[in-house]
Amino acid sequence: MRIDIIAIFPGMFAPILNESIVKRAQKKGKVKIYIHDLRSYSLDKHRKVDDRPFGGGSGMLMRPEPIFAAVEDVKSKSKNQKAKVILLCPQGEKLTQKLAKKIAKYQHLILICGHYEGVDERVRQRLVDEEVSIGDYVLTGGELPAMVLVDAVARLLPGVLGDKNSLNFESFEDNLLEHPHYTRPANFRGMGVPSVLLSGDHKKIESWREKEALKRTKQKRPDLLG
Ligand code: ADE
């Protein structure tokens, strides 16, 4: 997968993208990530990318020209007509594991990080294929949401995680949260481990885990059970 990120704070990405699984995914050649500074596409001599809204009102909007120029430049360089242009903004579809899985199937993503009061509507009309929000709260910009999306998607790419099963048994599979986990020591400060997990009986362990996953989901996230 190729991911191009267009942002006005390109320096925010390096610390996240150069660590952990996203770093490993890049090293393994499973994902190529390119960061583009939106200001370098500004026609303004002060590299301004925002302006006041027509009709008045508070706040500034992102002008359309630099965003169109950036996306068109990326598309022409990558020569990939199948790129999906995704705008990160609070109005978008809420990011879920299901949506991350859908996006993980795309070959090329172009992520636009929104800012200020939002983007000129013509960006949505003509350029953007999908809008994604990472939750019902407002951040100062789309950079953190873009990183969240990249992380959620990169770990789903085939061959990125070491253990194939770790994807099959994690939270939100079958709309369930994960069952409780324990590791060594078997006794920690007087707290034990459920004896079934020490029994070696895999059938019993599996049914205990299913029961616990359901119990936990009912307690913490009944909305997932519908
Ligand atoms: N930009 C600001 N807040 C956001 C959010 N919650 N999701 C995506 N982009 C955003």
| pLDDT tens column, 33-61 | 999 999 999 998 999 999 999 999 999 99
Residue 132 alpha carbon, nearest atom of ligand 1: 8
Distance CA(199)–CA(190), nearest Å, equals 20
Mutation choice for ligand 1 from 61, 86, 87, 88, CB with most ligand atoms inside 8 A: 88
Q: Is the dihedral of CA 112, 118, 121, 122 positive or negative?
A: negative
Q: Report the amino acid identity of residue 99.
A: L
**Residue with CA at minimum distance from ligand 1 atom 4:** 90
Q: Torsions phi, psi of 191, nearest 5? A: -95, 125
pLDDT band at 98 (very low <50, low <70, confident <90, very high): very high
- Half-sphere exposure of residue 94, counting CA atoms within 13 Å on the CB side? 5
Token output for 119: 């983007």
> Lowest mean pLDDT: which of 2-6, 78-82, 93-97, 123-127?
78-82
Give the list of residues 6+ apart from residue 43 with CB closer than 8 angstroms, or none.
Answer: 65, 66
Token output for 103: 């996006």
Residue 139 CB less than 6 A away from ligand 1: yes
pLDDT band at 167 (very low <50, low <70, confident <90, very high): confident
Distance CA(65)–CA(77), nearest Å, equals 18
Token output for 42: 């500004």
Residue 134 alpha carbon, nearest atom of ligand 1: 7
- The region that residue 215 occupies, defined by phi over 0 for left and psi between -120 and 50 for alpha, beta otherwise, is alpha
pLDDT of 163 above 90: no
Residue 114 CB less than 6 A away from ligand 1: yes
DSSP for residue 207: H
Residue 54 CB less than 6 A away from ligand 1: no
pLDDT of 125 above 70: yes
Domain ranges of the chain: 2-154, 171-225
User: Is-contact 211 180, C-beta < 8 A?
Assistant: no
Which one, of 22, 10, 18, lies nearest residue 148 by Cα? 22
**Residue with CA at minimum distance from ligand 1 atom 5:** 90
CA–centroid distance, residue 90 to ligand 1 (Å): 4
CA–centroid distance, residue 75 to ligand 1 (Å): 24
Full-model pTM: 0.94
Residue 113 CB less than 6 A away from ligand 1: no
Residue 118 CB less than 6 A away from ligand 1: no
pLDDT band at 173 (very low <50, low <70, confident <90, very high): confident
Question: What fold characterizes domain 2-154?
Answer: Alpha/beta knot (3.40.1280)
Residue 117 pLDDT: 87
Strand order in the sheet with 108-113: 32-37, 2-7, 108-113, 84-94, 130-133
Q: Where are the beta strands (DSSP E) in the chain?
A: 2-7, 32-37, 50-51, 61-62, 84-94, 108-113, 130-133
pLDDT of 80 above 70: no
200 by Cβ neighbours in 10 Å (0-12 / 13-18 / 19+) ranks as exposed
CA–centroid distance, residue 141 to ligand 1 (Å): 6
CATH superfamily of 171-225: tRNA(m1g37)methyltransferase, domain 2 (1.10.1270.20)
